[in-house]
């Protein structure tokens, strides 16, 4: 009898106290909700949680079309690889319906890599929780990506853009101050828009960002130039005079915190007015690219740049070493041994 009991209670991997014939099957949506709740409890950022939802929705739509009624443990490595190929190759909508077929469009390697990374995070979680027999994405590798040149403003483009806002108005002065800050500090747009007067250290000309404000969850100090600090002080003074209850540094004409969506829309309009739209991507992040590339071109080192902009990995910072042909020519003209030798003879 004891032998029969032991045989009847043999555990299957991924179960706690069920029999062989009572295998637990986790529904896809239930599994995702567990994953989502745990990540939210761990303090994951709202933007990351939103990405989890979006990427899971894309996967579920494909699964519902190709493999309806499946549960979590039904997803095999071959199914995962099929989805991977689908993302990289595109699909044909209304396939088989004559006259309605629409050829699909492949996602970029970067997008495929991001969505694959999200799925890997999910399936690794479920695997660690013993909700899976096999991790279906364990052997999937992200696609190789061409290393594109990082697009940043040129000095002339930045001058044209900074000259566009009408600084006689509050909104124009605020916008120009924001752009000056982004170009001078390399702050991310969300970091800049979250600033209050408490973050500004006028005496030491620094901005103190708390760990909660940083993408890598570490506090950091960002130095700014005297010119930009003067503009920030002027903006704080004006805010206090007209909106004493406002806490944020960058606010609307009604005293509400400025949003990144509003910044992007106004920046697009300024780019068109400045005549640089189409020549360069006019976005808040392009200021960050400008700061990083210019910092290195002017002799700054990688490690101090990494600390200023808050990169968690030096590999990310190292990408800014890339230079276009114009940068290379300018650097050669400045540091060429022969040019320096000829300059010495003229003296």
Q: Which residues of the chain have pLDDT under 50?
A: 1-22, 92-97, 100-102
**DSSP secondary structure of 289-304:** HHHHHHHHHTT--HHH
CA separation, residue 337 to residues 17, 97, 263, 322, 333 (Å):
76, 68, 45, 22, 9
Confidence (pLDDT) at 10: 38
Confidence (pLDDT) at 344: 62
**DSSP secondary structure of 51-92:** HHHHHHHHHHHHHHHHSTT--GGG--HHHHHHHHHHHHH---
Residue 115, phi then psi, degrees to nearest 5: -70, -35
- Specify the CATH number of the domain 2-128: 1.10.150
Residue 207, phi then psi, degrees to nearest 5: -110, 125
Domain 155-335, CATH homologous superfamily name and number: Intergrase catalytic core (1.10.443.10)
Confidence (pLDDT) at 170: 95
Confidence (pLDDT) at 323: 57
Give the span between the Cα atoms of 91 and 99, in whole angstroms.
16
Confidence (pLDDT) at 21: 41
State pTM to two decimals: 0.63
Confidence (pLDDT) at 11: 35
Domain parsing of the chain, residue ranges: 2-128, 155-335
């Amino acid at each position: 009898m004891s032998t029969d009991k032991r045989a009847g209670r043999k555990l299957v991997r991924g179960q706690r106290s069920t029999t062989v014939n009572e295998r637990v099957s986790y529904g896809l949506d239930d599994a995702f909700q567990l994953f989502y709740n745990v990540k939210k409890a761990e303090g994951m950022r709202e933007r990351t949680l939103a990405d989890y939802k979006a990427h899971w929705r894309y996967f579920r739509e494909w699964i519902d079309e190709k493999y309806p009624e499946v549960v979590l443990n039904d997803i095999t490595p071959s199914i995962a690889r099929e989805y991977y190929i689908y993302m990289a190759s595109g699909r044909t909508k209304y396939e088989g319906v004559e006259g309605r077929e629409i050829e699909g469009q492949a996602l970029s390697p970067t997008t495929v890599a991001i969505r694959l990374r999200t799925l890997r995070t999910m399936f690794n979680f479920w695997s660690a929780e013993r909700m899976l027999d096999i991790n279906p994405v364990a052997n999937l590798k992200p696609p190789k990506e061409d290393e594109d040149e990082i697009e940043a403003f040129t000095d002339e483009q930045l001058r044209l853009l900074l000259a566009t806002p009408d600084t006689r108005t509050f909104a124009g002065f605020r916008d120009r101050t924001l752009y000056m800050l982004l170009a001078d500090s390399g702050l991310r747009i969300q970091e800049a828009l979250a600033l209050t007067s408490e973050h500004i250290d006028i005496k030491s000309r620094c901005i103190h960002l708390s760990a909660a404000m940083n993408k890598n969850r570490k506090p950091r100090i960002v130095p700014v130039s005297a010119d930009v600090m003067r503009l920030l002080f002027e903006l704080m003074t004006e805010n206090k005079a007209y909106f004493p209850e406002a806490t944020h540094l960058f606010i609307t004409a009604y005293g509400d915190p400025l949003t990144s969506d509003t910044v992007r829309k106004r920046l697009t309009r300024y780019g068109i007015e400045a005549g640089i739209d189409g020549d360069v991507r006019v976005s808040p992040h392009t200021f960050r690219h400008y700061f990083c590339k210019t910092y290195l071109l002017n002799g700054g080192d990688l490690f101090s740049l990494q600390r200023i902009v808050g990169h968690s990995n030096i590999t990310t910072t190292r990408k800014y070493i890339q230079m276009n042909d114009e940068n290379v020519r300018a650097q050669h003209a400045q540091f060429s041994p022969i040019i320096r030798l000829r300059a010495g003879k003229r003296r």
